[in-house]
Chain A
Amino acid sequence: MFRVLRKKELSPGVFDYDVEAPRVAKKALPGQFIVLRVNEEGERIPLTIADFAPEAGFVKIIFQVVGASTAALAAVAEGESILDFVGPLGQPSRIGSDMGTVVFIGGGIGVAPVYPIARAVHEAGNKVISILGAKTKDILILEEEMRSVSDEVIVTTDDGSYGVKGFVTTALQQLVERGEKIHQVTAIGPGIMMKSVADATRPLGIKTIVSLNPIMVDGTGMCGGCRVQVGDETKFACVDGPEFDGHLVDFAGLMSRGRMYREQEAEAKDHVCNIGLGR
C-alpha cells in the first residue's frame, strides 16, 4: 500500500499527490513514469512522474480527473493509500551539459512532467526557456516552480486572461522571430499540442522531443497497447519511450488510439456516479 502523504487541488479537477514510495523515489529519473492502481477493481493508470524526493521517500504525481479511474484516484483522501504504485518505468530523459538553449513547452497538466526535466537540464548548466500554456489563467499550474528552474518563462492562455493570448506555438514563434537560437524543444501536453509544436519546428530543423502517455496496461512491454508509429517503426511507449522524436511520431494514429475506449469510459463514469465513488 502506498500512502498519499499530501494532497492538493491545484485547480478544479487537477490534483497534486505526494505518494509515499521510497523505493521508487530512490530510483526515479526525470522523464520516467509510474503505473498505479487505486484499488482492487481499479485500472492500471500510467502517469509521468511530476517530481521525486529520494530522501523524503515520495513521488509526486499530478493528474486531472477525466474518467472513472481518475475520479476514483481523486477520491483518495490525504493519509489514505493507493493499492499499487509501480515504477520507475520507461527511459529517462537524455540530459547533458552541452544542450545549449532548450525550450520546454508544457500544455495543461503537461507542465507537471516538464518540471523535473527542465530542472535537471537547468541544473546541468543549459539555458532553459519555458512556455506554459493553459486555456485560462485559473487553471495554469506550477508557474512558480517553473520560474525557479527557467531563465525565462512565457505564459500563454487561449483566452488572453494571462500572459500572451494564443497557443504555445504563438510564443514559440515569437522566440524564433526575436532570433533566439534554439537547440532543442521538449513539448509535453495533449496530442494536438505536441503535433502543432512538431509541425512548427520541423521546417526550422529544431530537434523536438515529445513525451507520450498512451493507453497501456502493464507498462513493462508486455501488452503492446501503447504502440505508436515512429518513423518506419512501431515502438512501445512504455519501454522504448515515453520520449520520442516529435518529427517522426504519427500523431493522428496516436490520438485515434487514445479514443479507443471512449464509449466504455462514459459507461464507467456513469457506473462510478451511480455507486457514489466520484463524490
Chain B
Amino acid sequence: MAASMKKHPMPEQDPAVRAHNFEEVALGYDEETAVAEAGRCLNCKVPQCRKGCPVQVNIPAFISKVKERDFDGAISIIKESNSLPAVCGRVCPQESQCEKHCVLGKKGEPVGIGRLERFAADWQMAKDEEITPMHFAPDAQKVAVIGAGPAGLTCAGALARKGYRVTIFEALHVAGGVLSYGIPEFRLPKDKVVRKEIANLEKMGVKIELDSVAGRLYTVDELMQEEGFDAVFVGTGAGLPRFMGIPGENLNGVYSANEFLTRCNLMKAYQFPKYATPIHVGKHVAVVGGGNVAMDAARTALRLGAEHVYIVYRRSMEEIPARAEEVHHAKEEGIDFRLLNNPVEVIGDEKGWVKALRCVRMALGEPDASGRRRPVPMEGSKFQLEVDTVIIAIGTGPNPIVASTTPGMDTNKRGNIIADEETGATTKEGVFAGGDIVTGAATVILAMGAGKKAAAAMDEYLKRKKEA
C-alpha cells in the first residue's frame, strides 16, 4: 500500500501567487481528504503520539472520530485538552512533537495529526459554535491574568470554565499576543481564527481589558490588595527583541523582527496609507536568524514587495530551528537561504541608511552546550550582501516591566521569572507564571501547556485559600 506511506497532501495556494498576497497559504483538508487521512491511523494499542503533545490531546481518539465522520465528537475530544485547536493545528511544530512519535513515520510519513486537528477545529468554527456563558457564583473568586497571549488565554479559559471570574490585562490594543502581532495572516488568519477564539472566551465570560500595561497601570500587589484579585497569572511573553551587537545595527532600515512583524500584522502597514503606520521594505532584504520568526519576517517582506529576500543563518539546514513546513514554504516562494553565514557588520550609506550586510562564512566545529555543532568563522571569508533592509530575528529576552515592579517574585539572571515547572508557582504567594516569560522564547503550544498547568494549580490554590 504505497499510497498510505505518505500523508495526503495539503492543498495550498500556488507559491508564485501567494508570494504576493497575505491570504492563508495552506487551505486545509476537505471532509473526504480528512476522513481518508484519518484512515491511515493504525490506532496503536500503546499510542506514542500523545507523549509528544505538550497538552496531551487524546490523538487516537479524535482521529477515530474523524474516521467515523463524527466531527463534533472529534473536536470535543480535542477541546478537552486544547482550547485553541485551530491555532495549534496551524502553528505547532508537529514534526518534533506528536508526529515525531507516530509509528507510521518510521517507514514513511506520519499521520497528518496537525492537519486533522485543524480540520476538526475549522469544521466547528464554520458552524459558528454556540458558546454558553458561564454562570459565576456571587462569591466566585477573582483571577487576574497578565497578557492575552497563548499562555494567558489558555489559563484564563481553563479558570473561567471552573467558575472563576477572570480578567485579562493586555498592554496592546488587540488581544492575542504573538498570535496577533507576530504570526502573519498568511499562516494564521486573524479574523477567521484568532479573533474568533478570543471572542469565544469573552462570550464565556472572560473579561479582557486592553490598553492596560500591568506593572504600570496596576502592579501585581495592587491587583491583589486593592483590586480584589485572589490570584494572578503572569504570561507577559518574550518581549524584548535581541540585537546582535554588531556595528551599524541602529542604521535606518534595520528592524527587529518584532517591529517589522508588528508594523505589518498589528498595525496593518501593508495597507499604508489607508492605515497610517508606515513600513520600509526595500528591494533587497536580509533576515538574520533561522527560526519561525525569521521565516515569517522573510515571507512577509516578500509579500510587501521585496524583490530578493535572504535568510542569513550561521548554522546549516540540519540545525535550523524553524518548523519544517515553514522552511519548505519559504523555499518554494523563492527565499534565498544563505546558510553558514554570520553577519559581522551592517554597512550604511552617507544618509544613515543600510546599503549592505557584511558577513563571514562559518564552518561547523564540535558540538556546543545545545548539542548542536558550534559554528566557527572561517578566516578570510568575509563578503557583502547588497541589501537595503536588515531584519534581526535572533530571539527575544523577557520583558522587565512586570518583574521589576513585583517585589518577592524572583527572576533568574537572564530576567526570566522563576516558576515551578509543574505548577507555575512563583516565589510570591498567589502569583503564578508561564510561557515565554518563564522559559525564554519558545512555542505557542508550550506556552499553552504552561497556562493549562498553572490553571490547575491555581484552582487548587484558590480552593485552599477559600477554605482557610
Contacts and interface: CB of A to CB of B under 8 A. Distances in A.
Contact of B172 (A41, A218, A257, A259): A218
B241 A222 contact: yes
Interface string A37-69: 100011110000000000000000000000011
Interface in A78-121: 83-89
B256 A224 contact: yes
B173 A234 contact: no
Contacts of B253: 260
Nearest to B392: A224
Given A224-B258, A239-B401, A256-B352, A217 B263 contact: yes
A236 B241 CA distance: 10
Contact of B280 (A85, A260, A271): A260
A268 B276 contact: yes
Given A222-B262, A260-B280, A264-B272, A84 B210 contact: yes
Nearest to B276: A43
Interface string B205-232: 0000011110011100000000000000
Nearest to B348: A256
A23 interface: yes
A265 B211 contact: no
Instruction: Pick the most buried of B216, B239, B240, B399: most chain A CB atoms within 10 A of its CB.
Output: B216
Contacts of B268: 41
Interface stretch (A7-15, A130-138, A197-205, A225-233): A225-233
Interface string B258-273: 1100110011100011
- Main SS at interface, chain B: loop
Given A222-B262, A224-B256, A268-B276, A27 B217 contact: yes
A221 interface: yes
- Main SS at interface, chain A: mixed
Interface string B233-257: 0000001110101000111110110
Interface in B123-182: 171-173, 181
Nearest to B275: A41
Given A27-B216, A218-B262, A234 B276 contact: no
Given A83-B173, A86-B213, A229 B250 contact: yes
A23 B217 contact: yes
A93 to B, nearest CB: 15
A159 interface: no
A24 B216 CA distance: 9
A72 B239 contact: no
A256 B259 contact: no
Nearest to B268: A41
Contact of A264 (B216, B241, B278): B278
B466 interface: no
A226 to B, nearest CB: 9
A220 interface: yes
B243 A37 contact: no
B274 A41 contact: yes
A125 interface: no
B400 interface: yes
Instruction: Pick the most buried of A43, A68, A234, A267: most chain B CB atoms within 10 A of its CB.
Output: A43
Contact of B267 (A27, A44, A68, A267): A44
B277 interface: yes
Interface in A203-224: 217-218, 220-224
Interface string A263-275: 0110110111000
A68 B278 CA distance: 11
A84 B211 contact: yes
6 contacts: A23-B212, A217-B262, A225-B256, A225-B259, A260-B252, A264-B278
10 shortest interchain CB distances as A-B pairs: A264-B278, A256-B352, A223-B259, A271-B273, A224-B256, A43-B276, A224-B241, A261-B278, A268-B273, A84-B173
